Amino acid sequence: MPVIVIANPKGGVGKSTLATNIAGLLARQGHGVMLGDIDRQQSARQWLSLRSPSLPPIRGWEVEGSVVRPPRGATHVVLDTPASLQGKALETVLAIADRLLVPLQPSLFDIQATHAFVQALRAHPRAPRIALGLVGMRVKERTQSNERLQEYLATLPVPVLAWLRDTQNYVQLAAHGLTLWDVAPSRVERDLEQWQPLKEWLTR
């Protein structure tokens, strides 16, 4: 069962936005998707509660007493993680991750936090078996902050899989439990184009 982890020790970088849309993509492809949330804020879980049962199903954890596990029939797991992921929680996540995506925004604080996190990930004993990728979030084209982010990411030995623009589409869709894959393609055409390289990486 592929486990796709979304992680960055910096808060507010777009982890839940990325996680929910990846879950939506996989569900639209017909997979049995579980969207797990180990963030104390439980953003992904709250998003799931808004999702219409008429849409491709995405399920959360199955809880039986003190046991938490993927629901029966799940074929793909997308895991949203909290800020300051470290220690035992990080070890647990790395033990099950097949792919790990690190979202970040074009800000100095994001760059600094992400640099240390990526270095720690690449030095970890489990790193060789985990596919690692970066995703630029809320990117505003033709800005100095975006240029600095691109210059920085070019120095890392980790692929940048997508540059996702700063748009209200994500905010408006999330408010209704929706993803890019749940609405008419013409409504989010530019966003779907930006997702194409990431989509190919996820389904490779």
Which H or E run contains 3?
Answer: strand 3-6
C-alpha to C-alpha distance for 170 and 133, rounded to whole angstroms: 21
pLDDT score of 63: 61
Q: Which domains can be identified in the chain, with CATH numbers? A: 3-203 (3.40.50.300)
Q: Are strands 33-37 and 131-139 parallel, antiparallel or unpaired?
A: unpaired
Per-residue pLDDT 10s for the chain (204 aa) are: 899 999 998 888 999 999 999 999 999 999 999 998 876 666 778 899 999 999 999 998 876 555 567 888 999 999 998 877 778 888 888 988 999 999 998 887 888 888 888 888 888 898 889 999 999 999 887 788 778 888 888 888 889 999 999 999 999 999 999 999 999 999 999 999 999 999 999 987
Which H or E run contains 15?
Answer: helix 15-28
C-alpha to C-alpha distance for 99 and 22, rounded to whole angstroms: 12
Residues in a beta bridge with 33: 58, 76
Q: What is the pTM of this model?
A: 0.92
pLDDT score of 39: 61
CB 137 within 8 A of CB 165: no
3-class DSSP assignment, residue 142: coil
pLDDT score of 188: 98
